[in-house]
Structure 1
Amino acid sequence: MSDPEFSLYAIPQHGVLAEQWHTRLTELNIRVDYRQVDQLNARFLRLNPQLCLLVDELGLWLAANGMKMQPAWHEETHRLKRASLKTEMIARACQIGKTVHILDATAGLGHDALLLASMGANVTMLERHPILFSLLQSALQQALQHPFLASIAQRISLIQADASEYLRTLSDEQFDVIYLDPMFPTRDANQKQEKKQAQVKKQMQLLHLLLPEDGVMDLGDQLLPLAQGKATRVVVKRPKHAVFLNHQQPQHQWQGEACRFDAYF
Structure 2
Amino acid sequence: MVSELRLFVEPEFHPAAQHYLSVLQGRGVAVQLEVIDKLSARFLRLNPELALCVDQAGLWLCAHGMKMQPDWRAEVPRLKRASLKSEMIARACNLAEKPKLIDATAGLGHDSLLMAHLGAQVTLLERHPILFTLLEDSKKNAAQDAFLSPVVARIDLIFADSADYLSQQAVQHQSVDVVYLDPMFPQRDQHQQAIKKQAQVKKQMQLLHLLLPEDGSMDLGDALLGLARQVAKRVVVKRPRLAVYLAEQAPNHQWQGDACRFDAYFQELLEA
Give the TM bin, normalised by the shorter chain: over 0.9
Distance apart, 1:173 and its partner CA: 4.8
Q: Which residue of 1 aligns with 2:179?
A: 178
Q: Which residue of 2 aligns with 1:254?
A: 255
Q: Which residue of 2 aligns with 1:264?
A: 265
Distance apart, 1:214 and its partner CA: 3.2
Is 2:194 the counterpart of 1:192?
yes
Q: Which residue of 1 aligns with 2:48?
A: 49
Contact in 2 for aligned 1:173/1:232 (Cα 8 Å): no
Q: Can you list the C-alpha shifts for 1:1-54, whole angstroms capped at 9, x where unaligned?
A: x64101111111111111111110010010000111111111011011010011
Provide TM-score, normalisation by structure 1.
0.94
Q: Can you list the C-alpha shifts for 1:168-190, whole angstroms capped at 9, x where unaligned?
A: 10043532111111111534895
Is 2:57 the counterpart of 1:58?
yes
Q: Which residue of 1 aligns with 2:124?
A: 125
Equivalent residue runs for 1:73-88 within 5 Å = 73-88=72-87
User: Within 1, Cα distance between the matches of 2:51 and 2:218?
Assistant: 18
Q: Which residue of 2 aligns with 1:169?
A: 168
Bigger helix fraction: 2
User: Within 2, Cα distance between the matches of 1:172 and 1:46?
Assistant: 51
Q: Which moved more, 1:217-226 or 1:169-178?
A: 169-178
Matched to 1:26, the amino acid is Q
Matched to 2:163, the amino acid is S
Q: Can you list the C-alpha shifts for 1:177-220, whole angstroms capped at 9, x where unaligned?
A: 111111115348953142642x4210111111111113697111
User: Within 2, Cα distance between the matches of 1:223 and 1:260?
Assistant: 18
Provide TM-score, normalisation by structure 2.
0.92
Q: Which residue of 1 aligns with 2:270?
A: none
Identical positions, percent? 57
Q: Measured at CA, do residues 160 and 112 of structure 1 come closer, stay the same or move farther in structure 2, by a change above 3 Å? A: same
TM-align CA RMSD: 1.7
Q: Which residue of 1 aligns with 2:269?
A: none
Q: Measured at CA, do residues 174 and 186 of structure 1 come closer, stay the same or move farther in structure 2, by a change above 3 Å? A: closer
2:97 is paired with a residue whose SS is coil
Kindly report structure 1 stretches of 4+ aligned residues shifted beyond 6 Å. none
The runs of 5 or more residues in structure 1 that have no matched partner are none
Matched to 2:8, the amino acid is Y
Contact in 2 for aligned 1:110/1:136 (Cα 8 Å): yes
Contact in 2 for aligned 1:124/1:159 (Cα 8 Å): yes
Matched to 1:220, the amino acid is G
